[in-house]
Amino acid sequence: MLRNHKKIPEPTIERLPLYSRPLEELLKAEVPVVSSDTLAKLCGVNPAQVRKDLAYFGEFGVRGVGYEVASLLKEIKKILGTDRKWRLCLVGFGNLGSALFENHNFRRRGYTFVAVFDSDPAKIGRILENGIVVEHPKKIKEAVPRLHIQIGVIATPPFKAQRVAEMLFSAGVRAVLNFAPIQIRKPECCVVENVDFTISLENLAYHLAKLH
């Protein structure tokens, strides 16, 4: 048994969400069982990789048959914590922030915005979906414990992002999704994920330039 001995590689964690997407499709299409080969093709990875990744967490497959779609999906969600609900707050209700807030993919996957903060007086007080009211960021300190906010999403201008992050951390938030194109300094105990589209664009540009 692999699962009890070794720690789980980061790339494995990053591939699990990749597997869960085609699995959701298969579930919808009422396909009962999937092989590592098929799943691998759907995700564009190696079949052995799929089996090994899954084996870190348990024996989910049946030899000679494959993986039962519904139960595998459930297991992956359990591993990722996606079977739980997570409560988020949004800081920065601008173009990007409002697109994030209005996107129902997040809620469908268990990520619910329960508070929105913005420093613009023109936006403070505005009433959004689910009765959420835009508040000044100075309310973060008080709102995080009261609303049990677990994840902070930063969509402010870059030069405000570090300060906002610090407010979130000191209010008790341990995980931050940061859309501002800067490197956030964080306490040891906290996790930060950066999303930066321009990095993806620069990657594309590099590969394009090579194909001349």
Ligand X SMILES: NC(=O)c1ccc[n+]([C@@H]2O[C@H](COP(=O)([O-])OP(=O)(O)OC[C@H]3O[C@@H](n4cnc5c(N)ncnc54)[C@H](O)[C@@H]3O)[C@@H](O)[C@H]2O)c1
Partner DNA sequence: CCTTCTATGTGCAAAAATTCACAATAGCTG
Partner DNA sequence: CAGCTATTGTGAATTTTTGCACATAGAAGG
Taking the complex as a whole, how short is the minimal distance between the CB of residue 33 and DNA, in angstroms? 8
Residues 108-137 that bind ligand X (CB under 6 A): 117-120, 123, 137
Per-residue contact string for residues 61-100; x = within reach of ligand X by CB under 6 A: ------------------------------xxxxxxx-xx
Full DSSP string of 133-200: BEE-GGGHHHHHHHHT--EEEE-S-HHHHHHHHHHHHHHT--EEEE-SSS-----TT-EEEE--HHHH
Position 205 contacts DNA (CB under 7 A): no
Nearer to ligand X among residue 103 and residue 203 (C-beta) = 103
Which of 17, 32, 41, 48 touches DNA (CB under 7 A)?
48
Q: Which has the closest alpha carbon to 143: 172, 166, 165, 120?
A: 172
Binding mask 170-189 for ligand X (x = CB under 6 A): ---------xxx--------
The answer to whether 132 and 105 have CB atoms below 8 angstroms apart is no
Select from 158, 170, 201, 203 the one that contacts ligand X (CB under 6 A): 158
Q: Which does 169 bind (CB under 5 to 8 A by kind): DNA, a second copy, ligand X, none?
A: none
164 binds, among DNA, ligand X, a second copy, none (CB under 5 to 8 A by kind): ligand X
Among 36, 150, 162, 178, binds DNA (CB under 7 A): 36
49 binds, among ligand X, a second copy, DNA, none (CB under 5 to 8 A by kind): DNA
Give the Cα separation of 210 and 151 in Å (integer): 39
Dihedral pair phi/psi, residue 27, rounded to 5°: -60, -45
The interface with DNA within residues 143-162 (CB under 7 A) comprises none
* Side chain identity, residue 152: G
102 binds a second copy (CB under 8 A): yes
Residue 119, number of CB atoms within 10 A of its CB:
16
- Binding of a second copy by 72 (CB under 8 A): no
Q: What is the dihedral of CA 104, 148, 170, 119, to 10 degrees?
A: 50
What are the phi and psi torsion angles at 167 (to 5°)?
A: -60, -40
CA proximity to 137, closest of 166, 174, 176 = 166
Could you list the residues that contact ligand X (CB under 6 A)?
Answer: 91-97, 99-100, 103, 105, 117-120, 123, 137, 155-158, 160, 164, 179-181, 197
